[in-house]
Structure 1
Amino acid sequence: MSDKRQRARVQGSWAKQVPKHSGPSTGAVPNNHQPKSGSQPPAAWGCGPQKTTTTFEFNQPTKAVRDVPPEKVIELAGDYEISHGPSGVSRLQLLPGFLPPEEADWMFSKLLAELPWSQKTNFRQGEAYDEPRLTCWYGELPYTYAQSTMAANTQWHPLLLTLRETLKQVSGCSFNSLLCNLYRDGHDSIGWHSDDEASLGSKPTIASMSLGDTRVFSLRKQPPPEENGDYTYVERIRVPLSHGTLLLMSGATQDDWQHQVAKEYHDRGPRINLTFRTIYPEPEGHRAGTKLRFTAKDP
């Protein structure tokens, strides 16, 4: 009898109760206890062995690595020859403070209130759009650019006639026309372009008078033919134009450079830009607004 009790105690000490599963009794095995399968996951998931048959080789770039030229800044008074090329020398003359502050203030207020400002409709790739600025035109001839024409207007404001005579003495040019631009705030702008219409003649001189808030006048050089119109590596110039500043562009500037006044995304007050120029009748055989580009036969 004692032997049976002894054997029962020994067997009972090894007979531990299996713990009960707390989840539903579905008979499913938890994910972290799934039996391992002998099959490997597809190699496309990046978990299994992958075979690579491609051999990677380093090849020198076909084009030389080039640095983008730093933008130059012109802000001091002076005469600048900004480039020399087959079409000639491109020149800028910058005269900050050309008008005394009191005179510039009076002129700005008067022109802002009294000129016949309007928003011009223009065309880009056949689509009409409103120019992001206001303009008006003075001259005995109409002026066409970007497929849109401004009618002749001989009713010059007296103040503009006085300023034209002053600029004639400084530049030596008898300007007969004037394009006025009003940039109402920093969102008004004008895109990249050259003033190279045939009606402006070869190598025109343009006198640009700035009144009001300072805006940046940017220039970029025309790329050589081998660049296929890519402006990435061209020279660039930045000219801040402040209240009362005069900028003269002459020589081959309109042949070899483009310019713009870009949008600015912070507060800017209104700015008036007066661009005096000399305009001629459209050359025979040219459609109004046609560009006049430099050729090797030009003097």
Structure 2
Amino acid sequence: MAERRRRARVQGGWAGTPAGRPAAPKAPVASSLALAGARPAWRQKEQPHTQKQFVFEKPSEVERRVPEAGVIDKPGVYELSKGPTGISRIHLIPGFIDSEQADWMFEQLLQDIPWGQRTHVRQEISFEEPRLTSWYGELPYTYSRITMQPNPNWHPLLTMLKERIEEFTGYTFNSLLCNLYRNEKDSVDWHSDNEPSLGRNPVIASLSFGATRTFEMRKKPSPEEDGDYTYVERLRIPLDHGSLLVMEGATQEDWQHRVPKEYHSRDERINLTFRIIYPEPDGVWK
């Protein structure tokens, strides 16, 4: 009987626990991952180590090339530029005076014109012009602070040439600046014929005799260039014996010109520049 009761208590769950109470739940078994010291699933895969590299790149600059000078050596009318001031135009006529006539005209002008050399003063330093000049006209002409006095006594050959050019161009001229380049060392620097006495958009007719010299032109830079002539358009015009070059429109306003010194030996050259001179508004010549 006693043995039967003992078995009943064991089967009823009383063994080791207070009577009527359920057995305490077993402690949860630790995860095998935790026991093994493994990382959580989201860290199991090794993440690639990326490092962003910063490379300095110098901003690309637009390369500006100095333009090559164009060459005008064929007869014709050339429109150089067009802007707010108007159209700049030149007319080149090689052989305007045929070679045989040009020969004796050159010799007579070389001998008869009263050539003289002017002296300039710049920053209290005086220097002589690298060429000889002479002036014809009933009015004086002032350029580079030098005034050339009136000279109404035109040489007959100069009068004849003026009339021939007037008939060809349709313009009337009342003045003439003569230039004598004695050799390759004589020259005239960059300038524009834009003195007030020449009026607006002056017409200049340039007739050449003797050795061929290069007449160079360059366009004046835009205001944004701040006076830098490095990248402006340039032209080279060989003016030979008997050639005529007419500059008109806005050429003097928008372009400069010069006759540079040369490295090779050059004989004498005479250049006649016919123009129209107007009296100064206040009657005072400066």
The TM tier, using the shorter chain, reads: 0.7 to 0.9
- Match of 2:256, SS state, is strand
Q: 2:184 corresponds to which residue?
A: 186
**Distance of 1:126 and 1:249 partners within structure 2:** 34
Query: Residue 225 of structure 1 corresponds to which residue in structure 2?
Result: 223
Residue 162 of structure 1 is aligned with which of 160, 165, 184? 160
Greater displacement, 266-275 / 276-285:
276-285
Query: Number of aligned pairs?
Result: 232
Q: 1:286 to 1:60 in 2, by over 3 A?
A: farther
Structure 2-normalised TM-score?
Answer: 0.78
Aligned to 1:196: 194
For residues 110-125 of structure 1, what are the structure 2 equivalents within 5 Å?
A: 110-125=108-123
Contact 1:220–1:257, Cα closer than 8 Å, also in 2: yes
Q: Residue 117 of structure 1 aligns to which amino acid in structure 2?
A: W
Task: After TM superposition, give the deviation of residue 58 of structure 1 in Å.
Answer: 5.4
| Residue 171 (structure 1) aligns with | 169
Point out where structure 2 has 5 or more consecutive residues left out of the alignment.
1-54
> Partner letter of residue 60 of structure 1?
P
In the TM superposition, residue 286 of structure 1 has moved relative to its aligned partner by 7.8
Counterpart selection for 2:75 from 73, 77, 100: 77
Cα distance per residue 1:232-280 (max 9 Å; x no partner): 0000000000000000000000000000000001110000000000000
Measured in 1, the distance between the counterparts of 2:252 and 2:284 equals 19
- Equivalence map 1:44-83=2 (5 Å): 59-60=58-59, 64-83=62-81
On the 8 A contact 1:198/1:283 being kept in 2, the answer is no
Task: Write the letter of the residue equivalent to 1:262.
Answer: P
Identity across matched positions, percent: 58
Q: Please say if residues 223 and 234 of structure 1, whose CA atoms lie closer than 8 Å, have aligned partners that are also in contact.
A: yes
Q: Report 1:199-218 matches (<5 A).
A: 199-218=197-216
* In structure 2, distance between residues paired with 1:184 and 1:235: 29
SS in 1 for 2:229: coil
- SS of residue paired to 2:266: coil
1:52 alignment partner in structure 2: none
Offset, 1:127: 2.5
Contact 1:123 1:146 in 2 (8 A): no
Q: How does 1:235-250 map to 2 (within 5 A)?
A: 235-250=233-248
> Paired residue for 2:256, among 258, 265, 268?
258
**Secondary structure class of the residue paired with 2:115:** coil
Equivalent residue number for residue 95 of structure 2: 97
Distance between the aligned counterparts of 1:286 and 1:60, measured in 2? Answer: 57
Equivalent-residue separation in structure 2 for 1:78 and 1:229 (angstroms)? 31
1:285 Cα deviation (Å)? 8.8
Q: Secondary structure at the match of 2:185?
A: coil
CA distance in 1, matches of 2:80, 2:74: 14
Shift of 1:156: 0.6
2:192 and 2:256 in contact (8 A); partners too: yes
The TM-score normalised by the length of structure 1 is: 0.75
Match of 2:49 in 1: none
Return the index of the structure with the highest Cα Rg: 2
CA distance in 1, matches of 2:59, 2:202: 46
